[in-house]
Amino acid sequence: MKEVLKNAEERMEKSASNLSHAYAGIRAGRANPAVLEKVKVDYYGTPTAVNQLAAVSVAEARVLVIQPWDASVCRAIEKAIQTSDIGINPQSDGKTIRMIFPQLTEDRRKELVKEISKMAEEAKIAVRNIRRDAMEKLKAMEKKAELSEDELKKAEKKTQDLTDKYTKEMDAIFAKKEKELMEI
């Protein structure tokens, strides 16, 4: 019983952290180095993350500065950013790359809120699926007489409590990102 609950909690925790990680990559009109996490640069035939090839810093609220440690990779980083789905054209002087994030329009903000809302709902569905799997395992354990009826009821309540906890956590993560997106 404890293994089933522990496994369910670990999987729910992972769903919540995946949601946070996905939200970090969504730009909110501010420079955020996390938008570059998905960008891979072809570095001597190996796809490499930008933060492994350069120092990435926020110069101003809407300006991201990328300073490659090897100047020869500057062009490759610039090309990788252009071909990515970030939607920002980098500006380079051969040594440093600057990404200037435009101010988000009201329509784009609303569109992003819809997108993050959908992501939050998918994460909550994943948590509910984990709950369902755990409940099925617990019921199977009861059928095999590994659990008593009382233990099953307690385990089901703990599973539901975990589900509620992580659903609330995801709602809080969503609310925080929504607030960030809607601020001007």
69-88 pLDDT per residue, tens: 988 888 899 989 888 877 78
> pLDDT grade, residue 126 (50/70/90)?
very high
Same domain, 91 and 114: no
Look at residue 165 in the predicted model and tell me its pLDDT.
95
For residue 8, the domain's CATH number is 1.10.132.20
Same domain, 66 and 37: yes
User: Containing domain of residue 71, as a range?
Assistant: 33-100
Which of 66, 100, 134 terminates a domain? The answer is 100
Beta strand residue intervals within the chain, DSSP E: 40-43, 46-49, 54-60, 63-68, 91-92, 97-100
* Structural contact between residues 19 and 123, judged by C-beta atoms closer than 8 angstroms: yes
Number of domains observed in the structure of the chain = 2
